[in-house]
């Protein structure tokens, strides 16, 4: 099988020549990403290039809150010892909204420090933005898909209603307002849902696909939100998105960190085809064997190799875990993958050994 055929078969729960291997976050086909890494990444990049099944991502964005309306914005930066603070002041018809994020000078992940929505009045500013259907240029999707060819898949990242709500206010405020101002949150959520559906319909009409991906569910999983909230904020708004993808013959991948044991069957109800990263204890709360038993008939499972263990665990334990995961899934409907991308500026020798062991254990299984 080619990598593309192998991945599509795994998503569809069909037999494969070997279990697919997605070395999450190692974008060895992307010269810009490769050039940004120091020499410690080289063995992992080379092994992934030789043996990995590539999964790229392209997304159209969603304009301003799902609208193509043009808004004036101001941008400025502020230098700090280890960070650069990036500010944006967005001018809506009802007043300005300010955000601030930190970009690391030392290669570490960035941080969102200030969200645009801080008060209920800020929600009024968001909704004051005129709605114009968002119609992005999709030519880059087909260009990148052609570049990957049979070595992998290009997934189209689509906007998700709960992700859009969360990203403008943050987890704490969303959790509090889900109790104190629930009707207001639900109003905005369903406005965004209609806009996400409109964007997806456009993408499908343009021939984008067959694989789509989204995230945002992790913002409303237990314990921060109840299982009832998870259904209200994630499941119900996403049902139409999933239905449209299925009716077009497409496939849907979802990325959701954290504990998912209490909502595992809900993911199957959405109708998704693949769930990542399915974190094992102690970072998550579900084993691969249990997930396979409960939802393996409905969706492909990806991951269950904790990134922290890849970084610091014993190499033999990584090998044993890969073999165990392939055994309990019987080599079908499973993709070997770490739960997250490499997140440090350089890789220690032990981390490199563990990545290479994961790759070797997969291709030799």
Q: What are the extents of the domains in the chain? A: 3-68+130-363, 70-114
Judged on CB neighbours under 10 Å (0-12, 13-18, 19+), 306 is buried
Which pLDDT belongs to residue 365? 86
Query: What is the DSSP pairing of strand 300-302 with strand 274-277?
Result: parallel
Give every CB contact of residue 25 below 8 A, 6+ residues apart in sequence.
338, 340, 341, 342
Query: 3-class DSSP state for residue 169?
Result: coil
According to CATH, what is the number of the domain 3-68+130-363?
3.20.20.210
211-227: b (≥16 Cβ within 10 Å) or e: bbbbbbbbbbbbebbee
The arrangement of strands across the sheet holding 83-92 comes to 72-79, 83-92, 95-104, 111-114
Q: Above 90 in pLDDT, residue 187?
A: yes
Give dist(CA 262, CA 197) in Å, integer.
Answer: 27
CA distances to 23, 25, 113, 296 from 301, rounded to whole Å, are: 15, 17, 33, 7
Mean pLDDT calculated for residue range 300-314: 96
What pLDDT digit, counting tens, does each position of 38-88 carry? Answer: 999 999 999 999 999 999 999 999 999 999 999 999 999 999 999 999 999
Angle between helices 120-127 and 182-205 (to 10 degrees): 30
- Percent helix, percent strand, percent coil in the chain, to nearest 5: 45, 20, 35
| 255 — pLDDT class (breaks 50, 70, 90) | very high
What pLDDT digit, counting tens, does each position of 260-280 carry? Answer: 999 999 999 989 999 999 999
What pLDDT digit, counting tens, does each position of 100-155 carry? Answer: 999 999 888 899 999 999 999 999 999 999 999 999 999 999 999 999 999 999 99
Quick count: other Cβ atoms within 10 Å of Cβ 361? Answer: 20
């Amino acid at each position: 099988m080619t990598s593309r055929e192998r991945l599509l078969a795994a998503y569809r729960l069909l037999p494969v020549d070997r279990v697919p291997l997605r070395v999450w976050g190692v974008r060895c086909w992307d010269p810009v990403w490769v050039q940004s890494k120091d020499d410690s990444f080289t063995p992992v990049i080379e092994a992934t290039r030789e043996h990995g099944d590539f999964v790229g991502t392209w997304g159209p964005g969603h304009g301003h809150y799902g609208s193509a309306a043009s808004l004036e914005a101001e941008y400025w930066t502020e230098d700090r010892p280890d960070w650069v603070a990036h500010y944006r002041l967005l001018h809506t018809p009802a007043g300005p909204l300010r955000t601030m994020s930190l970009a690391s000078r030392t290669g570490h992940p960035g941080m969102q420090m200030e969200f645009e929505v801080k008060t209920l009045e800020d929600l009024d500013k968001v909704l004051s933005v005129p709605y114009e259907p968002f119609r992005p240029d999709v030519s880059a999707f087909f260009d990148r898909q052609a570049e990957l060819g049979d070595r992998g898949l290009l997934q189209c990242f689509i906007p998700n209603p709960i992700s859009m709500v969360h990203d403008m206010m943050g987890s704490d405020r969303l959790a509090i307002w889900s109790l104190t101002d629930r009707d207001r949150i639900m109003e905005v959520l369903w406005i965004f849902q209609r806009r996400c559906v409109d964007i997806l319909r456009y993408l499908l009409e343009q021939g984008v696909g067959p694989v789509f991906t989204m995230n945002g569910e992790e913002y409303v999983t237990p314990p921060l939100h109840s299982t009832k909230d998870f259904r209200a904020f994630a499941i119900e708004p996403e049902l139409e998105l999933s239905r449209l993808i299925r009716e077009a013959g497409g496939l849907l991948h979802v990325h959701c960190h954290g504990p998912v044991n209490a909502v595992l069957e809900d993911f199957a109800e959405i109708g998704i085809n693949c769930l990542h990263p399915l974190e094992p204890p102690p970072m998550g709360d579900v084993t691969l064997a249990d997930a396979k038993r409960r939802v393996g008939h409905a969706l492909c499972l990806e991951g269950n190799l904790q990134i922290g263990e890849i970084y610091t665990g014993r190499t033999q334990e990584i090998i044993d875990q890969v073999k165990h995961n392939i055994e309990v899934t019987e080599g079908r409907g499973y993709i070997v993958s770490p739960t997250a991308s490499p997140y440090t500026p350089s890789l220690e020798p032990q981390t490199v050994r563990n990545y290479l062991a994961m790759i070797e254990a997969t291709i030799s299984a």
